[in-house]
Structure 1
């Protein structure tokens, strides 16, 4: 499903963000990526999204070596990956429905398909009654649910959640985690980068810990060890 094979990343300023990373993630896994700021979590995500290229090594997504693809193929690769951000990144001048529909419009989906798929996604995240609301009329948790619906509307095989609970209160954070668990139960592979120790320790899913660009721990049913 996802393979990082001997992957290193050195930025132009000489910063070594990742060093000889080897990670295999199976289809349908739920994996936490943890580590302190600067550990390499963001670089790992950027490499998978083809926002950056590795200095060394290979990265496979759905059995395709994405380190070798031409630039014109990158949008097609990204269709297989949905992304949820800490700060939601919703379009303020568009309604909830329009925000989710926009993700389909940019890949050329038909109006018929958009009319069918968007209401399904809004129902899944519990926001059918907010379809005509604007982002500033929503709570933080509701905005994150819109972000999740937008990330999933094109039916990606992988969902990357980059600190998705970072701007939410604890109760709302757990609502989002329950939603992510359900999405994973339906078959989507979920990678979640987080500092939320309580969530990681309660969920007891696979934990990959990074430190100074290296994998220092990879455990099934792991915990967030701050001493790592």
Structure 2
């Protein structure tokens, strides 16, 4: 599903963000990407989205080497990847319904299909009653649920989540994680970059730790660090 072979990224200013990364994420996995700020997490996400190009190495998505894809093909690659950001990135002048519908319109989904599908997506994220609201009328958690709804509108096999709970209070963060867990349960592969120590330690998914651009740990059912807090498991 996602495979990196000997991937390195060095910027023009000489900063080496990633060094010799080898990584294989299978279909249906839920993987946490952890590490301090500047460790290389965001660079890795940008490489997968082809916002950046690797200095060396190969990157495969769905068995396609995207490092060899021409720029005009990039939009087709991105149709297979849903993305959720920390700051939501909703269109402020569009309603909840319109934000989700727009994600479908730009890839050419027929209007009839959009009208059929958007209500079911709103129901999935528990926002049916907010379909006519604008982003500034929503709470942070509601905005993130809209962002997730938009990200999965076109049924992407891969969902990248870059600090999706970073701007949320703890209770709301757990609501978002429950939603992401449900989406993963439906077969979507999820790679989530996060600093949320308690969430990582509680949910016990695969954990990949990056330090100074190098993978230093890759554990099944891992924790954020060595310590695992004594908290009630949510899942």
Determine if the TM-score, normalized by the shorter chain, exceeds 0.5.
Answer: yes
Q: Output the aligned Cα RMSD.
A: 0.9
1:95-143 CA-to-partner distances (Å, cap 9, x unmatched) read: 0000001101111111011111111111100001110011111111000
Aligned to 2:60: 60
Deviation of 1:57 after TM superposition, in Å, equals 0.4
Q: Unaligned 5+ residue runs, structure 2?
A: 228-235
Encode CA deviations 1:123-175: one digit per residue, 9 max, x unaligned: 10000111001111111100000000000001100001100000000000000
Structure 1 residue aligned with 2:170: 170
Counterpart in the other structure of 1:197: 197
1:77-96 aligned at under 5 Å gives the runs 77-96=77-96
> SS at 2:67's partner residue?
coil
1:97-112 paired onto structure 2 within 5 Å: 97-112=97-112
Partner of 1:51 in structure 2? 51
1-structure distance, mates of 2:64, 2:217: 26
SS of equivalent residue, structure 1 residue 145: helix
| Local SS of the residue matching 1:191 | strand
Structure 2 CA distance for aligned equivalents of residues 8 and 226 of structure 1? 27
Note the C-alpha offset of 1:225: 1.3
**What residue is the counterpart of 1:7 in the other structure?**
7
* Runs of 4 or more above 6 Å deviation: none
TM-score of the superposition, structure 1-length normalised?
0.98
What TM-score, normalized to structure 2?
0.95
Give the match for residue 217 of structure 1: 217
Gaps of 5+ in 1: none
CA distance, structure 1, for counterparts of residue 173 and residue 195 of structure 2: 13
User: C-alpha offsets along residues 8-30 of structure 1, whole Å, 9 cap, x if unaligned?
Assistant: 00011111000000000000000
Distance across 1 between alignment mates of 2:21 and 2:88:
29
Quote the offset at 1:226 in angstroms. Answer: 7.5
Counterparts of residues 177-196 of structure 1 (less than 5 Å): 177-196=177-196
User: How many correspondences in the alignment?
Assistant: 227
Alignment-derived partner of residue 127 in structure 1: 127
